[in-house]
Amino acid sequence: MSDDAAGSATAEHGLTGAAQTVASFDTERPGLIRRIQAFLHTYPTAIPFIVLIVGIAIFSFAAGSKFFAPFNLSLVLQQVTIIGVLGIAQTLIILTAGIDLSVGAIMILSSIVMGRLSVVAGVPVEIAFVMGLATGVLCGFINGVLVARIKLPPFIVTLGTWSIYGSMIIFISNSETIRSQDIAAIAPMLQWMGARVALGGGAILTIGSMVMLLIAAGVWYVLNRTAFGRHIYATGDDPESARLAGINTTWTLIGVYTLAGLICALASWVLIGRVGAVSPLGSQTANLDSITAVVIGGTSLFGGRGSIVGTLLGALIVGMFRNGLALSGVDVLWQEFAVGALIIIAVTTDQWIRRISA
C-alpha cells in the first residue's frame, strides 16, 4: 500500500510545471459583434423594432411631412391590420415549425359565409357571424387533424386545403360580390370593424386596428403565461423531446391550427370592415404576405422561437415601406423589390443569431 502511495506520488512528479487549473471559463471580453449577437439572441424583437424606427426616420427625411404625420402613420396601421391579424395566426403555426398557406382562403371563405348568409339568405346577422367564425374554426381544425393525426407535412396539407377552401369560396359565393351598400343596409354589424375613432392630431384608428392589438395581446398571454403556450414553443423546438416530457403534441398541434382558423375568421370581420364589400376576388397574396410579416418580425421558420410583437412589427415594416416609397414617388416595382430584400435580410439575420447557440 505504502509502495503504491509512494509510486503514485512519484508519478505525479511528471506533472510538475503543467497547468494547475482544472478548468476555467474564457474570461476574455467578447467583441462588439459577439455582444450584439448575444443581445439579439436574448431580445430577438429588437431587430424589427430598430428597422421600424430607422425606416420612419429615413422616410420622414425622404418623403417629408406627408409621411411623418399622425394621419399617415395611423393610415399605415389601418392598412396592415388584415395582414397583421393573419400574421398572428401564421406566427402560432410557424412557432410549431409549420406553415399555413391557407390562411387567406380561410379568411375569404369565412367572410363569404357571413355575407351570403346574412345578406343573400336573410339569416339574422348574429347567427351568420357565428357561422362565419365556425367556418374558420372548422377549416383550421381540418388542417390540424391532417398535420397532427395523419402526420402529413404542413406545407402539403395547407397547399391542398388552400385549393379546397378556394373552390368552396367560388362555390358558395357563386362568384358574386356583395356590395358595401347592401351590407350596410341589411347586416351593418359586419362592417363594425371599419368604424373610426379619432385620436387627435389627425390620427385615426379603426376598431379593426384595436381588435388586432387585442387579439395580439390575447395570443401573447396564451403563449407566455399558459401551459398551452409553453407546449407550443416546446413542440416547435423539438417535438420528440416535448413528447417525452409528457406533452400531448398531437392535440397541441390540432389546437394551434384550430386557434389559427378562428383568428383567420376574425380577420374576415376586419376585412369586411375595411373594404366594405364581400368579394371572392382579392386578398390573393394574403397568405404569402402574412408569412412575410412573420419572417421579417424575426420568428424562425424552424419553429420554437419568435413572438407576436415581432410579427406586428413585421407587418408594420412592410406597410411603412410601401407607403413611404409610394409617397417618395418610387415606382410600385421597386416597392416589391424592397419587400423582397427585407425578407432576405431578416432570414439572414435569424440564421446568424441562431449560430450563437451552436
Partner 1 sequence: MGKLLKVAAAGAVMLGLMCGTAAYAQEVVGLITKTEGNPFFVKMREGAQAKADELGLDLRTFAGKFDGDNDSQIAAIENLIAAGAKGFAIVPSDSAAIVPTIQQARDAGLLVIVLDTPLDPIDAADVTFATDNRQAGRLIGQWAAGTLGAEAANAKIAMLDLAVNQPTVDYLRDQGFMEGFGIDVKDPNRYGDEDDARICGHEVTGGAEDGGRTAMETLLQKCPDVNVVYTINEPAAAGAYEALKAIGKDDGSVLIVSVDGGCPGVANIKDGVIGATSQQYPLLMASMAMEAIKTFVDTGEKPAVTEGLDFFDTGAQLVTDAPVAGVESIDTTKGAELCWG
- Please count the residues of the chain: 358
Residues in contact with partner 1, shown as a per-residue x/- string from 306 to 325 under the rule CB under 8 A:
----------------xx--
Tell me which of 42, 175, 241, 351 binds partner 1, using CB under 8 A: 175
Please calculate the CA angle 304-226-152 and round it to the nearest 5 degrees: 45
Using the rule CB under 8 A, is 338 a contact of partner 1? no
Provide the mask over 11-50, with x wherever binding to partner 1 is found by CB under 8 A and - wherever it is not: ----------------------------------------
Beta carbon of residue 232, minimum distance to partner 1 (angstroms, whole number): 30
Considering the complex, state which of residue 180 and residue 248 has its C-beta at the smaller distance from partner 1. Answer: 180
Q: How far is the CB of 75 from partner 1 (least distance, A)?
A: 6
Q: Which residues of 284-310 are buried (b: 16+ CB within 10 A; e: fewer)?
A: eebbebbbbbbbbbbbbeebbbbbbbb
Q: Pattern of binders to partner 1 over 249-288, x per CB under 8 A?
A: ----------------------x--xxxx-xxxxxx----
CB 44 within 8 A of CB 305: yes
How many binding residues for partner 1 (CB under 8 A)? 41
Phi–psi pair at 197, nearest 5 degrees? -125, 120
Span 56-75, contacts to partner 1 by CB under 8 A? 66, 72, 75
Site for partner 1 in 118-137 (CB under 8 A): none
Task: Indicate whether 179 belongs to the interface with partner 1 (CB under 8 A).
Answer: yes
Minimum distance, C-beta of residue 60 to partner 1, in the bound complex (Å): 14
| CA–CA separation, 115 and 169 (whole Å) | 12
Q: Which is nearer to partner 1, 126 or 176 (CB)?
A: 176
Burial of 77 (0-12, 13-18, 19+ CB in 10 A): buried
- CA nearest 172: which of 130, 111, 225, 223? 111
Contact 234, 242 (CB under 8 A): yes
d(CA 70, CA 119): 36
Contacts with partner 1 by CB under 8 A lie at 66, 72, 75, 78-79, 82, 163, 167, 169-170, 174-181, 194, 196, 204, 271, 274-277, 279-284, 322-323, 326-327, 329, 331-333, 336
